[in-house]
Amino acid sequence: MVLSSMEYAKTLVPTSLMRSVSSVQNSLAQRMVSPPQPRPYRVCTPHRRRRKGFVATSLEDLMDKVASPFLVTCHEFSLVLEDDGTVVDSEAFFQSLPTNTLFMVVEKGKVWTPNKQVLPSFTQPKRKGIAHLSFDLYKLDPQDFLGCLTIKATLYEIYTLSYDIHCYRAKEILKSFLRCFLNASRVAGHVLLCSSTYALQQIEEEEYSR
């Protein structure tokens, strides 16, 4: 009986190892097929005077959400990276960008401009701060009461720390607090009513006794 090279290799590899490799391949395939999760991003105008946060799952989704607030048409503008003006024209490039990436809306016929006209280092030395803090408030759902807060700290322009605060249950907590406050107000009102009635009865009894 003559075995092929593939069949001979299978006889040398344990069955358990083949099953584990197959399970890993299946899990990787499922992750690649699964749709991307919504992530927060920031978009600014060409003059950087206005910034707005959005939550999107794809490049097309973000452009659709940007069109209405910035009063532009989807086919008449493009999104570029705010720091260097790189055009984001593919879904693969968009998905590779980190969360809270800052984009700029550039309409057709216009070009990206840098943030500041920095002079050469020998005429204007660059000033480095110790720490820089930024706060970004965004909502994953328009019906959220407070949304989410991202705090980002940069130390010596080298180390970056970020922390996300999710306030998903803030609305429920506020409702519970108001409910407890109303119940306490009712109890306090009932106590005041009973005490005032008792005080009036005592006053009337003293007047009759006189």
Encode pLDDT of 5-26 as tens digits.
545 555 555 555 455 555 556 5
List, in order, residues 6 or more apart from 166 with CB less than 8 Å away: 148
Range of the domain at 84: 39-107
pLDDT in tens, 41-78: 999 988 888 888 999 999 999 999 988 888 888 778 98
Domain count, the chain: 3
Model pTM?
0.44
Q: Are 55 and 98 in the same domain?
A: yes
Is residue 51 assigned to a domain?
yes
How far, CA to CA in Å, does 194 sit from each of 121, 185, 186, 191?
Answer: 79, 14, 12, 5
Is residue 195 assigned to a domain?
yes
Is residue 142 assigned to a domain?
yes
Return the H-helix or E-strand segment holding 103. strand 102-107
Return the H-helix or E-strand segment holding 192. helix 170-209
Domain boundary among 107, 123, 144: 107
